[in-house]
Structure formats: C-alpha cells, structure tokens
Structure 1
Amino acid sequence: MAGTLTRWDPFAELSELRTRFDRIYDGLTGGTERSWVPAIDVARENGNLIVRADVPGIKPEEVKIEVEDDILTVSGEHEETTEAKEKEYVRRERRYGSFRRSMVLPTGVDAKQIKATTHDGVVEVTIPLPKDIKKETVTITPTAA
C-alpha cells in the first residue's frame, strides 16, 4: 500500500497555539484592549535605508515616528469610531488599538534628515545613510587568567 509523505511544519502548530492564547487573552480583557504589530520591511535603496510598515486603515495623524538614541520607533493608536448598532456582529477581526515597532539605526544617521510618507496603508520611512562611515576591524586576543 503506497502512502503519502507529508512534510511536518512545527511552526504551523505554534501559530495555532498563539491563536488560542489570543482568544483566552481577549476573553480575560473583555476584548476591549487590542494591540497588534505591523509587518515591516527594511531595504537599502540608492544610499538610503527604507523602512515600510503596513498600517492599513490608520490615518497619517495616528502614526508617530520618533528617533532617540539611534533607535527608530514607529507607533500609533487607532480607534474604531463607527459602529452599526442595528447589526449583530458574530465576529470582529478588524484591527484597532495601539502598535509599536522599534529598530536600531546604523551609526552616524542624521535623524533630522529622515522623511516619512504614507500611501495605500503603508508608512514609508526614508533614512539617508551616512557616507563617511569608516569600517574598522578590531582583533581581540584573549589572555590567560
């Protein structure tokens, strides 16, 4: 009897476990407090570091971008302002609540030159990379104690 070989994906089970924990957490908080983390892509393009964060349904004024101690933080808060009282919802999965993502910037970045735009639910942060970074190799030789 010929059998079918099925590839085991251990992360698929972790995803199911996370979904179960999320449901338990929503039950404990009454489902009123929701947080989520936007997906982020980072790329080098034309001497810049480009950070793209998915923030669908979030208005530009709800997004806050800060740089402190060479750490870029994209954060914000979104509240649902409309609700149809006459409809009975069986399930509501649209995102609302607060979000926050941080990443370390390369040494020498001038925070005042950073620009950000939004388009089609994506925040794009353009970070000019410094041109005069000297790469230095340091060799450390251990000594006997």
Structure 2
Amino acid sequence: MLVTRFDPFAEIRELEKRLLGAVSVPTVSAEGDKEVVNAFVPSVNTREDENAYVVEVDLPGVKKEDIKVNIDPEKRTLTISGERKFKEEVKKEDYYKIESSYGKFMRTFSLPENVDVENIDAKTEEGVLHITLPKVKKEEKEVKEIPVK
C-alpha cells in the first residue's frame, strides 16, 4: 500500500489555479517566457445629484482611443469597454516584476428610467473617465380646476 502525505490546501491551490486561468491574459516576462497576469478590472464610483447621475471609472494607462462608451436605449444599459495594453519592457540586469494588470475590460450598468439618453456626456481627465447621465426634467404641472356645468 502506497502512503501519501495529506495536503489540506491542495484543493484550494487547484481551485485558485483554475479561477486565475479563467480570467487571465498572457504577457511576456523579462526573460521572454510567457507568464499570466490577472485581467484588468477598473474601479467604478457612482453618485447622484438632483440633476444627473455620474459614473467615474479609474482607467490609468488607458488611452482615450481605447475606450468605448455605448448606450442601448431598448435595454436601458450603459456599457463601458476598452483595453489597457501591455508595455513591452525588459530589464536584464536586475530583478524585474510587473504587478499591473492588463487586458480588455467591460462593465455594464442598468440605467434608471429618468435618464436622458440623448444628452449623455463622457470625458477623460487624468486617468479617470467621467460619464454624466442627465436626468429628464420633470414638468411640474399645476392643478387645473375644471368648472362643472
């Protein structure tokens, strides 16, 4: 009978490998070997004021040309997508490690009914994408009295 040593963390390490493999992109290491880096998932902040909803997406290192903002008026969704591209840097003299994530990303948000989809504005500033979703102005209607005849 063969005796094997029990490793309580073996299953967890295997699960971690499979999960990271599902959301990873290949990159090139300093030695030229293929490595795997986790996919880029940008952080998003949302807020609301009396006139609009504001979505701010942290996109450091992403060029304006690599960002797409789409509105689907039928499904009432806002989709932000793009790609942060890997920079081919190699250092051979010293130890070199890359911790930044690269790759394609996509985030989709449901829009409230009171968003004016015709006047949405998007701009980038210092690595942050600012999307302003103006609210439809409610017409305040006065109570009209109907004379009884």
Q: Which runs of 4+ in 1 moved over 4 A?
A: 87-90
Would you say the 8 A contact 1:34–1:98 is kept in 2? no
- One-letter amino acid of the counterpart of residue 62, structure 2: I
1:25 aligned partner: 20
Would you say the 8 A contact 1:36–1:97 is kept in 2? yes
Return closer, same or farther for 1:96/1:46 CA change in 2, 3 Å cut-off: same
1:102 aligned partner: 108
Secondary structure of the residue aligned to 2:20 is: helix
1:35 and 2:30 equivalent?
no
Secondary structure of the residue aligned to 2:137 is: coil
Whichever structure has more helix as a proportion of its residues is: 1
1:116 aligned partner: 122
* Structure with bigger gyration radius: 2
1:49 to 49, 53, 61: 53
Name the count of aligned residue pairs: 116
2:89 aligned partner: 83
- One-letter amino acid of the counterpart of residue 114, structure 1: I
Gap runs ≥5 in structure 2: 1-11, 27-33, 140-149
Gap runs ≥5 in structure 1: 1-16, 134-145
- One-letter amino acid of the counterpart of residue 49, structure 1: Y
Q: Percent identity?
A: 31
In structure 1, distance between residues paired with 2:120 and 2:114? 12
1:70 and 2:65 equivalent?
no
CA offset digits 1:60-113 (Å, max 9, x no partner): 111111111210011101212431254565431112101111110111423231
